[in-house]
Amino acid sequence: MGAIYFVRHAESDFRVHDDFSRPLTEDGVKNSLLVTNYLKDKDINYIYSSPYIRAVDTIKSLADELNISIECIDSFKERRISNWIDDFDTFSKRQWKDFDYKLADGESLKEVQFRNVTALMELVQLHPETNCVIGSHGTALSTIINYFNPYFGFEDFSKMRELMPWIVKFTFDHENFINMESIDVFKNNEITPIHLGKKC
């Protein structure tokens, strides 16, 4: 049985609108150490990440601590919106209501979910009995949660938007999904099960 720890990145500097290069804030760098402190004794064997800087930098301290190289996987990158959105709430609500909705040159949540879940299951097959960490993003991670629990929707997504960083542990028995747990590193690593078949 293996565990996949998805790490939603720490606070990033929204003054930088380029999605790939947006860095962590000073608080984000400091709070990324909470991720290291929680995961450093979890018998992690592999570390993967979205190629975006904020995701990589959130788990860099952990990788250094464990002396494990971070392998970037393009499929774990955040949803592509196309252009900077000022009214993010309205846009997100529409996407969560309609998983096929997207802007020109952007991605729908269905597309984001497909590539993220496909990449996740490839890693589960590759490492069936080992523990891995994946540096991720709020929307991308939320679509993965929604795949295993379709009741996870916009309201749940909105509640976790301020959790930066945030850890979600997925447990698999080979390719069979077992459960999900939310880990709040700001509340003494409080663990909350993300149940199947009912509201989170």
The model's pLDDT over 132-146, given as tens digits with 9 standing for 90+, comes to 999 999 999 999 999
Q: Where exactly are the structural domains of the chain?
A: 2-80+108-194
Pick the CATH number of 2-80+108-194 from 1.10.3720.10, 3.40.50.1240, 3.40.50.300, 2.30.30.90: 3.40.50.1240
pLDDT value at position 196? 59
pLDDT at 88: 87
Alpha carbons 41 and 66: distance in angstroms, whole number: 9
Give the pLDDT of residue 86: 80
The pTM of this model reads 0.94
Mean pLDDT of the 39-51 span: 98
Q: How far apart are CA 191 and CA 179, in angstroms?
A: 13
Looking at the predicted structure, is the pLDDT value of residue 114 above 60? yes
The mean pLDDT of the chain is: 94
The mean pLDDT of 74-87, rounded to a whole number, is: 89
